[in-house]
Chain A
Amino acid sequence: MEYLSIFFQYVGQYLKTRLTYRADMVVEILSDFLFQAVNLVFILVVFGHTTLLAGWSKNEMIFIYGFFLVPFSIFASFFNIWDFTDRYIVKGEMDRILTRPVHSLFQIVLERMELESLFGAVTGLVVMFYAGDKLGLEISWYDPFIFLLLVLGGALVYAGIFISLATIGFWSDSRTDIMPMMYNIGNYGRYPVDIYNKIIKYVLTWILPFAFVGVYPASYFLKRDEWYTYAFLTPVVGLVFFMMAVTLWNIGVTKYRGAGN
């Protein structure tokens, strides 16, 4: 409860800071929208030529892509930890975080949030409604709740994987290219996994479970009942990976060496 109130204080401060740089904000929002528009056009062009891939129709693939954007944008707004090692370990900023009475990971989430990324969720919803309309999908009263649950699960999958990677910084502060690589792998979750071979499918399901951010949960709304088990595993997988990451993080904090000034 206390964390919730701290969260809102930070969000308030964030908006206030953004509003003081009003011109910047307008430019940023415009460029965000432009980016999302380009994204949208891109999706339509890429999928425009495909008709059927491994049993998935064009509109189904567009729908999956749209769904993927929602948890991803939530992840991108709150878990900007790709530069954690540089920013907090090498520069010793973690010292400051650790002298405050709030969980260290939560503080970093708060300090690094970028709420503009949430616009991606809007694009995602637009894409989903467009594709859903073409597919003639129906929405039941409970679907919005299931949607929230699955989106949350997907965001936690992403967060879990990237937090785990960030914790490497507690043990070794040497530079690696693992983060950008993982962003690329994450993109595979945007497409139906059965277009890949068995090994990749297995990896995307159980090791780096990015499939739980896109295809699996989306298949619930596409009424693909052969995937329902996976769809409903989404929140579980999200929670498991996230908790594992937090445990790793907590162990990592005890290994923090600080910067020697």
Chain B
Amino acid sequence: MENIIEVQNLKKAFKSYSSRQGLKGAFRDLFTRNYTIKTAVDDISFSIKRGEMVGYIGENGAGKSTSIKMLTGILTPTDGKIVVNGMNPHKEREKFVKTIGVVFGQRSQLWWDIAVQESFRLLKKIYNVPDEQYEEHMKDVIDTLDIGPLLDKPVRKLSLGQRMRCELAAALIHNPPLLFLDEPTIGLDVLVKLKIREFLKRINEKYGTTILLTTHDLSDIEALCERVVMLDEGKIIYDGPLKELRENWAEGKQIQFQFSEKATLEELQNLTKDHLVVWEQGESDLIWVASVDSDETVISGVIGKVTAVKKIADLKILEISTEEIIRNIYVEGAVRHG
């Protein structure tokens, strides 16, 4: 399949000037100004195929928004090459933006004091969408996002969740084959989040829309994206399937036993001496956690040995959550390949 986005050695550096202190400093600033260079995006390369839904993640300040702004033609790259939908976003901006949709969760794309419907109508004109195409496509979008009742309200009177759904609809007026979403679910409640996820899945299936999405809510990514690109300090530190990320990082499982009577470490270690197990005491001396490899024979072996001898009240097998995995990666700052 063809690549809809191709990025090679992309770089963006911001020069920021700082002022010196005091009158003397201000005077010196007139001649030479101090500046620091912040490399927000540092030599990244990747490509995205038509129809993919890719999660673009990373800590605050990792450079996600900056990359998206370059991919959408808002910012000019300092260096590197971008081809999106067969065009150079910055060079052919006006032609290019007709082929993409953009939503910035932190910023409204709609006109503040006019009714949502009027905003849509202006956008329809701006994108030069024919009536029939608009009617058919937007009816579907409006129904799925359930924004029919909001259409005659001015944007400033909408709640965040209501506005966000309208923003999404607005970004899709021209039914673009590629959608950029920068934190589309920021500050939204669970129900609205679910609705938005459903919607994105639907347009991805129905129109084959390619979606690149940034978020700090990993459940968005888990629900939508098979592939993640992870950014740290402007560099890509992981690019691949979410599943693989989980498998490489979530080595092992934890089995949590709640015994009916007191247990000691020695006793438990003795019981499971045939397997590689690390025992740790939980909240009380009734609760013990065994960390084992993610291997069926080990897991059932340990459970069998322990339950044969000791009475248990409860048993849980815990998997390390994606949240935790990502946190570990952020802390270590690199992905181990294994």
Contact = CB atoms under 8 A, between A and B. Distances in A.
A6 B97 contact: no
Interface in B81-109: 90, 93-95, 97-98, 100, 102, 104, 106-109
B69 interface: yes
Contacts of A2: 128
A95 B107 contact: yes
A99 B182 CA distance: 13
B122 A102 contact: no
A100 B113 contact: no
B107 A258 contact: no
A101 interface: yes
A109 to B, nearest CB: 14
B94 A258 contact: no
A98 B104 CA distance: 13
B94 A254 contact: no
Contacts, number: 67
Interface in A214-256: 254-256
Given A17-B114, A102-B94, A258-B69, A95 B74 contact: yes
Nearest to B128: A2
Interface range, B side: 20 to 34
Interface string A5-24: 11001100100110000000
A102 B126 contact: yes
Given A99-B102, A103-B94, A261-B65, A256 B125 contact: no
A101 B95 contact: yes
B109 A256 contact: no
Interface residues of A, number: 27
Interface string A100-122: 11110000000100000000000
Interface string B124-160: 0111100000000000000000000000000000000
Contacts of B246: none
Contacts of A17: 113-114
Given A5-B125, A261-B65, A98 B73 contact: yes
A255 B74 CA distance: 10
B109 A99 contact: yes
Given A9-B121, A95-B107, A257 B113 contact: no
A96 B72 CA distance: 11
B122 A13 contact: yes
Given A95-B107, A98-B74, A16 B118 contact: yes
B207 interface: no
B307 interface: no
B107 A92 contact: yes
Contacts of A100: 97, 123, 126-127
Contacts of B109: 96, 99
16 contacts: A5-B125, A9-B125, A13-B114, A17-B114, A92-B107, A94-B74, A95-B107, A96-B109, A98-B97, A99-B73, A101-B95, A103-B94, A256-B74, A256-B75, A260-B14, A261-B106
Interface of A: 2, 5-6, 9-10, 13, 16-17, 92-96, 98-103, 111, 254-258, 260-261
Given A98-B72, A98-B97, A258-B74, 19 more contacts: A9-B121, A93-B107, A94-B74, A95-B74, A95-B107, A96-B108, A98-B73, A98-B74, A99-B74, A99-B100, A99-B102, A101-B94, A101-B95, A101-B98, A102-B126, A254-B76, A256-B74, A256-B75, A257-B14
- Nearest 10 pairs of A and B residues by beta carbon: A9-B125, A101-B98, A99-B102, A98-B74, A254-B76, A101-B94, A101-B97, A95-B74, A6-B125, A96-B109
